[in-house]
Amino acid sequence: MDAHYTDRFTVRTGTEATAEEWARAIFGDVPSPGEILIWRVILGLRLRLSRDRSPGTVAGWRIVGRGPDWIRLEAASFAMTANLVVRATGDEASLATFIRYDRVPARLIWPPLSAVHRWLAPKALRDGAARIARRSAREHR
């Protein structure tokens, strides 16, 4: 994917999990009403997200690729295509975002919103790490 915007955030943790487990810990299985409101309405992105729980989606984002230590999620709108790549290696996980502007409105909408994304993404990754750690602690009791 040719991207007009990219970023990557990483967290270290003492807990190992697969990339899909990380993605689900970060984003959940289905988008919450608040997430749908944010991604579709408030941010003006109008990303098309599935509302159903499915092995082919994470929080409404389609799983479009995976490897031994990564998973790629995708959602699109009339103006842009967004990909989230979660990678898990040993005790480290990362979240990378790739945005392609498919039409002019994305060039206007995303740049100011990317500041909000850069604030929220590391927090989501840390929250996911806390969920993974709690799950691991429960499994090792």
| Euclidean distance between CA atoms 83 and 3, whole angstroms | 9
> Residue 95 carries which side chain, given as an amino acid letter?
L
Give the pLDDT confidence score for residue 66 in this predicted structure.
Answer: 96
Q: Which residues contact 90 (CB under 8 A, 6 or more apart)?
A: 16
Phi, psi of 4 (to 5 degrees): -95, -20
Domain boundaries, the chain: 5-139
Give the pLDDT confidence score for residue 109 in this predicted structure.
Answer: 87
Q: Which one-letter DSSP state was computed for residue 17?
A: -
Which DSSP helix (H) or strand (E) runs through 119? Answer: helix 104-139
| Euclidean distance between CA atoms 101 and 80, whole angstroms | 5
Q: Does domain 5-139 have CATH number 3.30.530?
A: yes
Tens of pLDDT along the chain (141 residues) come to 699 999 999 999 888 899 999 999 999 887 777 666 666 655 567 778 777 788 999 988 999 999 999 999 999 988 999 999 999 998 899 999 999 999 999 999 889 989 988 998 999 999 999 999 888 778 777
| Euclidean distance between CA atoms 74 and 64, whole angstroms | 6
User: For residue 76, with 0-12 CB atoms within 10 Å meaning exposed, 13-18 middle and 19 or more buried, which class applies?
Assistant: middle
Which pair of tokens denotes residue 30? 């289905």
